Every structure is written in structure tokens, then in C-alpha cells.
Amino acid sequence: MKRMLINATQQEELRVALVDGQRLYDLDIESPGHEQKKANIYKGKITRIEPSLEAAFVDYGAERHGFLPLKEIAREYFPANYSAHGRPNIKDVLREGQEVIVQIDKEERGNKGAALTTFISLAGSYLVLMPNNPRAGGISRRIEGDDRTELKEALASLELPEGMGLIVRTAGVGKSAEALQWDLSFRLKHWEAIQKAAESRPAPFLIHQESNVIVRAFRDYLRQDIGEILIDNPKVMEMARQHIAALGRPDFSSKIKLYTGEIPLFSHYQIESQIESAFQREVRLPSGGSIVIDSTEALTAIDINSARATRGGDIEETAFNTNLEAADEIARQLRLRDLGGLIVIDFIDMTPVRHQRAVENRLREAVRQDRARIQISHISRFGLLEMSRQRLSPSLGESSHHVCPRCSGTGTVRDNESLSLSILRLIEEEALKENTQEVHAIVPVPIASYLLNEKRTAVNAIETRQDGVRCVIVPNDQMETPHYSVLRVRKGEETPTLSYMLPKLHEEAMALPQSVVAEQQVIAATVALEPQASVQAVENVAVEPQTVAEPQAPEVVEVETTHPEVIAAPVDEQPQLIAESDTPVAQEVIADAEPVAETADASITVAENVADVVVVEPEEETKAEAAVVEHTTEETVIAPAQVVEKPQDVVCVDDDHNHASAPMTRAPAPEYVPETPHHSDWQRPSFHFEGKGAAGGHSATRHASAPATRPQPVE
């Protein structure tokens, strides 16, 4: 018997499984923050028209603007006097700033924005209403024979307004004209509510949120062959009864039951291990073979291996039987993982053509119960079968996985010897550049060990050939292969610091992409200086990050309708709305102040990256980054402001894993004449310079602070 199992014991995850006995054949998982956006309806605004793509970009409230192709623009948005013949030009059809009602056809994937359409579809239990697409309509392609003839007669008797289209779903088979008309009335009221809400406020904002996973399961999966609906949460069970009534499916109300067993619901039906197989790369077959599923940016590749399969009298029979098993399992895994797009299957080579056709027919039969549209080609002479599957929602992997921070999703990392030699060549390349004083290589511990021992002579040879260039190799135990950082220091920019302090000194250059560094603002700090009897203490710099206003959540337009899809999600979860503003909030970066060393016999002034002198007004004292105070054994002396030469360019190059840049360095201390400080007159000038790196050509912006100085008296 087929059952629908709903697991709602964990608030962080809601799972719906369809089983036939103890075999899982469909699965839907929804987590807070990963709600389905496909079929959501928004009011958007045209921001840009691109004739070369024959498409427009629409701001509908998300961070990325949506993509609206010309073929998805309804005639109602064309100008009233538009009467061109042939293929229309998108610049003649739309204008920038125009407001449109759009529906998400394909959700965002990777760097691609959502694909939008203005042809709205409102799915019900038995019907799908297309209120602005009169050319669309008909009966589901899966309905055949006498059922199709009866539905055509029932469809002709429905009262459908002019200019609208209608599709009868598979669940409508055997339903009377009155039941279909009742479902149609719900869809029409829902469309009126959407139009009314769209007129209430300007774009962009969310009009209609697609239903939660339970309502979608009732709407899309309920068939007469479903014998039971088991739910392990009493609150969710009551909501399920309400959803069933709202969907107009009273015949299923008696099938909803509460599961109260001590063993978890999914474990009772032995499907937890089957669900886990959907998260694995390799899936075992009953005969001992296996299938390996790899998803890439372009397509999903599936390979069949015979492995330990021994079923069959010879190698040809074994290959044929393994391929038949693989066809059934591939169709099941495509549904469980919700894989979409282009799929290429590498079957085990079969010589007889009849075996190839039998495997193709087996695969077509196995995908027949899939809700998604599927197209299957023939097995080519290379043993490959190409097929495509409609992308209904983000795949299981996309919604529950993230890219590995170490390998960046490739699945492999470079070995230590190869990476070490690559870094050695990069060190030599940086050392060969003109005006180089030092080359700092901050590398993982195994790489540092290899370079300092097995390749010590090669490092010494580089220093010998490039007279005066010093190669510094620093192991960093917080860094893993294949990550490393090679930074070049120019003459006059070197910093007298211990080698093991270099990772901290270069931390900002290694961690942040250059594009982010260029946009970031350095936050000001306030330094409190308290004079004492004989020794002036340097107070810690109090750094307060700049306050960033958090984007406010968009208002939700209440749609007055009895449409079941707008019922609140169960398990006390609110729908995740898309923010109205697509302006990203830049991350604020706070520069750490470095303490100044004390000396007993002389006062030393250290200027952090000094450039042109700018005198700060008293009320702007809080905008200075840091102040450096000189120490003496007798009294505290503050150095006056000095105009120091602008240091040479620094290097700050970013790569995904590798960095070749120079550190921020301290300029030589200017000469000064000691004066008695008057603390009430202190002012802190701020300095700013920009540098362009030689290693990679990227520019960086840094802010530095100068010593607090007293204004000069006016003659």
C-alpha cells in the first residue's frame, strides 16, 4: 500500500515522503530559510533593457535582478498603439521604470538570477489557471483514452472568462463538472486578489508566497492510490485537516492519521537509510553494481559500474542486467534529489541493439510517474544516453550543501611537493622584480618544512642570484593546502619585525579579496591620553565599528482570499520574504592598532604609513584611527606634525587562494624638536594614501594615523 509520511518532529526541517510498502519513491524536504520561491508572484520594475539578449532585467526585491526574456512578456504590457508586424523589438515593447507583475519560473542558481515570466499560473487541486494567457490550455498529456474525452466535455461546460487559459491536471480525472467549476472559482478569486494587491503600492514587493511543503504535497501528490497519510505531530495533523478541507479533497480527510509509535516514523518504515542514499555520491544496486552521480555547472553525469555484479551467464548478460537495474534506480534518484537540467548517463557497453532499446524503454517506463517533464534520447554509439528533466525546485544538494572552503568544490587538492615547487617558482618570480627587498611566503606547515629542508639550497640560490633580496618562509598552522600567500616588499618598505609575526602583519592582505578591500571603510577610533607625574601611559585604542543600518523586512500585502496556498506554514514558521532593497551592505573592517615599543634613552616617533598632512578639527578627533605617544624616562614628549614623503606603492594582490602583495610598512621617523605638551591643545591629523601593486596590478586603499600634535602658535 502506498502511504504519505509527514515528519514534523524537528522544527528545523519538515519532510514529506511517499512510500510504496517500504520503498521510498519520492521525497520533499523544506528548511527555514530555504523555502521554495518558484511560483512566487511579485510586482517588479524594469531596470534595464538589453536588446542583445532580447530580455529585460527586473527588480523584484531580491539581491539579484530577475531575467525576463521577450518571449515571456504578455501582450497586455505592450504599448496601446503597438502594431508592428513580425518579431517585436524589446525596446519598442517595454521601457525602463515600467512596473510588471512577474512570477518566478526558475529560481536563482549560482551566479544566475531568477528567470521570470509575466504569464501567471495559479495551480489548484484539479486545474491550473493562466489568467493572461488565452493561447494556453488543454488537458494533461498523461491523461489518455476515455478519461481524456470526458474531461474535454467537462472543460467545455466551465464558465471561463475571456482571455484566460485553463489546464486540467491528472487529479481531475473522474471529477464532475461541478467539482472542476468549484476549483476554478477559487482560482479566479485568487487572481482578483492578486490584481487588487498589485495596485495598492509601488514595486518591488512580494504579492503571493508559494505554499509550504505540506500544502504542495497534498495538491501535487494526492492520488486515489494513496491509502494513508501518517503524521507524527498533532499540531501539524490539525493543520493538514484544514488544508485538505480548503483544497476541496474531503475524500482524503479520513485517511489522515496520527502516528504515535515509539520508533520514529521514518525508521518504522525503514526509509532513513534510503533518504541518506540521496545525499551520497555512489548508490549501490541490488546485484552488486553501483551508479555514481556527479553534478557540474553544465550537466549531471551518471556512470554505471558493474563492480561486484555477477548476475548473468556471460559479460554481455551481466552488463544488460546491471543496466536495467541502473535505469530503475536512476529514475528514482532523479526524483529524490530533484535533479534538473541536462543529464548524461554512461551505461555499460552493450553490443546487441535489442539490449540498448530494452534499457531505453525501461528508463522511459521508470520516469513515467515523475511530475517533471522529461525528454529521453537514444543511446549513442559511444554508449551515452542524453536526457533532460524539468527543474521544479533547487536540488537536494543545492539546498543542503555548501562549497568546501578548502578545495572550493573541486573535490581534490594539490599534493605537497607540486604545491611547494609552484610556490618556489613564484618566490623567484617576485625576487626578480626590480626594487625588491624581501619576499615573504606564508605557507602551511608541510609546505614550509619541505621548502626549508628539501629545497633549502634552491632558496639560498635565489638569494645569491638576486643580491640583497631576502626570502622569508613562514609556516602558518592555521593555513591548509592548497592555500598560501606570497607577498613582495619593496626597498624602503621593509618592517623590522620577527618572522613569526608576519602572518598577523599580513592577515588583512591575505584574508580579504581586493574588490572588497577597495570598498571597505576604515573605522575611526578614539584614544584617551591621561598625563601622569613622570611617565605617560599609552591607553588602548577603543575601536568602535561603524553602525550599519539593517535592512528592514518588506511589508507583506494581505491577500484577502480563501485560496489554500496562502495558509500559513505549519510548525510555527513564517514565510521567508525577499527584501525590497537589493543594495548589499558592505562589511566593515576595523584596523588593529599596533603598540609602540618603549625606549629608555631616547624618544622615538613612529609614523604609521604617513602621507600628506591633514589637520583635523577638534570635533573630528573621534575620526582618527590611532595616536602614537612617545615615551621617555623623565617626561612625555609629543612630536609635532611633520610632512613626510609619500611611501612607494604597496602590493595587495588577491586571488581565490594565492596572494602576492607587499605588507603595510612603517615610514622612517621624522626629525622633531621636543616641546612641553599642552594636552588641551592636542589635535590628531589623519593621513590617507593609495597604492597600486606591481605584482598583480590591483589597487588598495589604506588609512593611517599620525602622532597627536599641538597647533603651532600664530606669530
| 8 Å CB contact between 262 and 600 | no
- pLDDT for 472 equals 93
Task: Kindly tell me if the per-residue pLDDT of 37 is higher than 70.
Answer: yes
Statement to judge: residues 344 and 487 lie in one domain: no
Instruction: Give the model confidence (pLDDT) of 478-487 as tens digits.
Output: 899 999 999 9
Residue 134 lies in a domain: no
- pLDDT for 249 equals 80
Highest mean pLDDT among 313-322, 458-467, 539-548: 458-467
C-alpha cell at 464: 645569491
Q: Parallel, antiparallel, or unpaired: how do β-strands 99-106 and 66-69 relate?
A: unpaired
Q: What is the CB-side half-sphere exposure of residue 508 using CA atoms within 13 A?
A: 21
Final residue of a structural domain among 466, 499, 532: 499
The stretch 368-379 carries a mean pLDDT of: 92
Statement to judge: residues 605 and 702 lie in one domain: yes
Tell me if residue 24 falls in helix, strand or coil. strand
Tell me what percent of the residues of the chain surpass a pLDDT of 90: 39
Better pLDDT: 477 or 539? 477
Residue 655 lies in a domain: yes
Residue 407 annotated as lining a ligand binding site = yes
Start-end of H helices in 512-628 = 514-519
Residue 564 lies in a domain: no
DSSP-assigned letter for residue 98: -
- pLDDT for 84 equals 67
Q: Calculate the CA dihedral of residues 451, 453, 458, 463 and round it to 10 degrees.
A: 80
- pLDDT for 389 equals 95
Task: Kindly tell me if the per-residue pLDDT of 699 is higher than 70.
Answer: no
- pLDDT for 625 equals 40
Instruction: Give the model confidence (pLDDT) of 318-350 as tens digits.
Output: 899 999 999 999 999 999 999 999 999 999 999
Tell me if residue 292 falls in helix, strand or coil. strand
Instruction: Give the model confidence (pLDDT) of 494-515 as tens digits.
Output: 777 788 788 777 776 555 443 3
Crossing angle between the packed helical segments 213-221 and 234-246, to the nearest 10 degrees: 50
Instruction: Give the model confidence (pLDDT) of 345-354 as tens digits.
Output: 999 999 999 9
Closest CA to 207 of 571, 577, 696: 577
- pLDDT for 138 equals 80
Statement to judge: residues 678 and 540 lie in one domain: yes
Residue 303 annotated as lining a ligand binding site = yes
Q: Where are the beta strands (DSSP E) in 404-445?
A: 436-443
C-alpha cell at 512: 580579504
Tally Cβ neighbours within 10 Å of residue 422.
Answer: 15
Asked whether the whole model's pTM tops 0.75, one would answer no
The stretch 508-531 carries a mean pLDDT of: 39
Statement to judge: residues 670 and 686 lie in one domain: yes
- pLDDT for 604 equals 36
Statement to judge: residues 596 and 698 lie in one domain: yes
Rounded CA separation 152/138 (Å): 8
Instruction: Give the model confidence (pLDDT) of 174-202 as tens digits.
Output: 888 888 888 899 899 999 999 999 998 88
Name which of 75-89, 321-335, 672-686 the model is least confident about. 672-686
- Per-residue confidence at 101, pLDDT binned at 50, 70, 90? very high
- Alpha-carbon distances, residue 583 vs 37, 546, 578 (angstroms): 20, 18, 13
Highest mean pLDDT among 62-66, 140-144, 290-294, 515-519: 290-294
- pLDDT for 12 equals 86
DSSP-assigned letter for residue 601: S
Rounded CA separation 5/265 (Å): 8
Statement to judge: residues 363 and 457 lie in one domain: no
Helix (H) or strand (E) holding 318: helix 315-337
- Alpha-carbon distances, residue 52 vs 69, 91, 427, 488 (angstroms): 11, 11, 45, 43
Statement to judge: residues 357 and 292 lie in one domain: yes
Closest CA to 154 of 123, 190, 192, 183: 183
Rounded CA separation 459/380 (Å): 54
The stretch 229-255 carries a mean pLDDT of: 87
| 8 Å CB contact between 240 and 275 | no
Statement to judge: residues 344 and 448 lie in one domain: no
Final residue of a structural domain among 499, 521, 555: 499
Crossing angle between the packed helical segments 416-432 and 445-453, to the nearest 10 degrees: 70
Statement to judge: residues 631 and 705 lie in one domain: yes
C-alpha cell at 241: 485537516
Instruction: Give the model confidence (pLDDT) of 538-554 as tens digits.
Output: 233 333 333 334 444 44
The stretch 571-591 carries a mean pLDDT of: 36
Statement to judge: residues 608 and 483 lie in one domain: no
Tell me what percent of the residues of the chain surpass a pLDDT of 70: 70
Residue 471 annotated as lining a ligand binding site = no
Statement to judge: residues 715 and 653 lie in one domain: yes
Instruction: Give the model confidence (pLDDT) of 410-440 as tens digits.
Output: 889 999 999 999 999 999 999 999 999 999 9
- Domain span at residue 284 reads 280-400
User: Apex CA 645: angle with CA 639 and CA 648, to 5°?
Assistant: 130
Final residue of a structural domain among 464, 484, 499: 499
Residue 364 lies in a domain: yes
Residue 404 annotated as lining a ligand binding site = yes
